[in-house]
Amino acid sequence: MAKVEINSVEDYLAVLPARQRDILVTVRAAIAAALPDAEEVISYDIPTFRIGGRSVVHYAGWKRHYSIYPVGDAVRTELAAELAGLEISKGTIKFRLDEPVPVELIGRIARLRAAEEAAQTSRKKRR
């Protein structure tokens, strides 16, 4: 099969099976609602929300799950109870495709990631 060129979030979503596409449309809406000033782009071949030119949240659909990236310390610490039971690796949270999309949790993750990025940008400017 030829590789499909992905130039936009719509391109990315269009090549997914319907069930995954429906889920990721919900994930996209949750992140967009949490980060209304963010810009949507494709980065690393997956949908990404940026603020001030800095990537804040990536998301992607896979065969058996969908993922949110990256996961920082603030997300792990502040949302530990809500993340219990989810598969979390060093920088990724995996959500099962067969469970309801946790819209509120995804929004909270996005806002925490935005706060982490803003703090990091602020620290860099002070140096």
pLDDT in tens, 94-106: 999 999 999 999 9
Q: What's the pLDDT tens digit per position in 58-86?
A: 999 999 999 999 998 889 999 999 999 99
Residue at 96 is within a domain: yes
Residue at 1 is within a domain: no
Residue at 2 is within a domain: no
Q: How far is CA 37 from CA 31, 50, 112, in A?
A: 11, 9, 15
Which strands form 46-51's sheet, in the order they lie side by side?
39-43, 46-51, 54-61, 65-69, 93-96, 87-88
CATH code: domain of residue 72:
3.90.1150.200
